[in-house]
Amino acid sequence: MRSISVIILLFLIAGCNKETINFTEKAFTAYPMEKKEEKVLLKKNVEKIKRWNSIPSSIDGKLVQDLKEELYLRKERVLNQEYNQSKEFGEYVAGVKTRMKTSDKVIALTLDACGGEFGSGYDHELMNFLIANKIKANLFINARWIDAQHDKFLALADNPIFRINNHGTEHRPLSTVPRSAWGINSTSTKEEIVTEITDNQEKIGELTGKLPRFFRSGTAFYDEVAVKIAEDLGVEVVNFDVIGDGGATFSRPQVVESMLKSRAGSIIILHMNQPSSETADGVKEAIAVLLEQGYSFVHLDEYELE
């Protein structure tokens, strides 16, 4: 397993250039390395890594090495760690964040892009409305959607009103044993959980120069052990307390009714990948009312989550 992790790291390094390697130090300061022995573990492979990757002089080689050490060590730590058996499975298991910890009249819009054969569309009406009105939103994007909508992804990532977050690689529920949610089979091992999170984490990092801080699984289902694994990999698991569009199945009045249930600190889940839905119409109407009520829309990283 350790050799597989090294191979993954080598390929990641080989594919990096000045733009893709430019992860910020801030992305990792919240998750410092914890054990000296882990650094020793990495040093065993340093010379092998150097043979595969020549760091351009224009890049801070020390920074690159530190970032790569951190990424590698987190995977290694999880893959070599024993976890307890899970006792929970659902949307609101231990460790999942569902609200912002505040009494301020703020709301976080979270928009999922699930990818796949029936989930790789782009709701132009919804996204253009948010952009035109400078409404902040947090985008949880699946790797398959990125592949299908590459140019749109880059444009969204470059827009400061949006924050890019991780919605998994294959849009799978996270579990340490075989389960399913909404007809989708979950991961069933620690290794599959790591792949589901980190493959898309690396993809987004390579395209944007930043590693997402927040993660939401396909279907938003987890067991509590998978949530702990995600945290050990350096992401916070974020769900919601308001279901805004029912997986893009709600009618316009239903979207409005649901969104108007928001209160201070609410996190709303919506979908940006179903242009034939009535999500956009409902969102436009609901946001107008919420703004009149004195609410504003914020990024998740502006508040502590609970």
pLDDT score for 22:
37
Q: Which two tokens stand for residue 118?
A: 């029936």
Neighbours of 24 (CB within 10 A): 12
pLDDT score for 46:
41
248 close to 222: Cβ distance less than 8 angstroms: no
Per-chain mean pLDDT for the chain: 83
Q: Which two tokens stand for residue 190?
A: 């620690």
CA gap 263, 253 in Å, rounded? 19
CA gap 232, 31 in Å, rounded? 9
244 close to 107: Cβ distance less than 8 angstroms: no
Q: What is the pTM of this model?
A: 0.79
112 close to 239: Cβ distance less than 8 angstroms: no
- What mean pLDDT comes out for the span 115-141? 98
Q: Which two tokens stand for residue 248?
A: 């893009």
- What mean pLDDT comes out for the span 28-32? 40
Which of 131-140, 205-214, 225-234, 289-298 shows the lowest mean pLDDT across its residues?
205-214
R_g of the chain, CA atoms, integer Å: 20
CA gap 198, 191 in Å, rounded? 10
The alpha carbon of residue 67 and the mean position of all alpha carbons in its chain are separated, in whole angstroms, by 19
| Residue position matching structure tokens 């805004």 | 244
Residue in 161, 189, 166, 185 with CA at minimum distance from that of residue 115: 166
Q: Binning pLDDT at 50, 70 and 90, where does residue 68 land?
A: low
209 close to 20: Cβ distance less than 8 angstroms: yes
Instruction: Give the containing element (helix H, strand E) for 166.
Output: strand 162-166
4 close to 40: Cβ distance less than 8 angstroms: no
In this predicted structure, the answer to whether residue 36 has a pLDDT above a threshold of 90 is no
94 vs 22, 190, 228, 238, 239, CA distance in Å?
34, 18, 9, 12, 12
With pLDDT > 70 as the criterion, what percentage of the chain qualifies? 77
* 243-298 per-position pLDDT tens digit: 999 999 999 999 999 999 999 999 999 999 999 999 999 999 999 999 999 999 99
- What mean pLDDT comes out for the span 65-77? 72
In this predicted structure, the answer to whether residue 82 has a pLDDT above a threshold of 60 is yes
With pLDDT > 90 as the criterion, what percentage of the chain qualifies? 71
112 close to 82: Cβ distance less than 8 angstroms: no
pLDDT score for 157:
94
Q: Binning pLDDT at 50, 70 and 90, where does residue 67 land?
A: low
In this predicted structure, the answer to whether residue 47 has a pLDDT above a threshold of 90 is no
* 145-197 per-position pLDDT tens digit: 999 999 999 999 999 999 999 999 999 999 999 999 999 999 999 999 999 99
- What mean pLDDT comes out for the span 106-127? 97
Q: Binning pLDDT at 50, 70 and 90, where does residue 66 land?
A: low
In this predicted structure, the answer to whether residue 93 has a pLDDT above a threshold of 90 is yes
Give the length of the chain: 306
Q: Which two tokens stand for residue 199?
A: 């493959």
Domain covering 106-302 in this structure, CATH number? 3.20.20.370
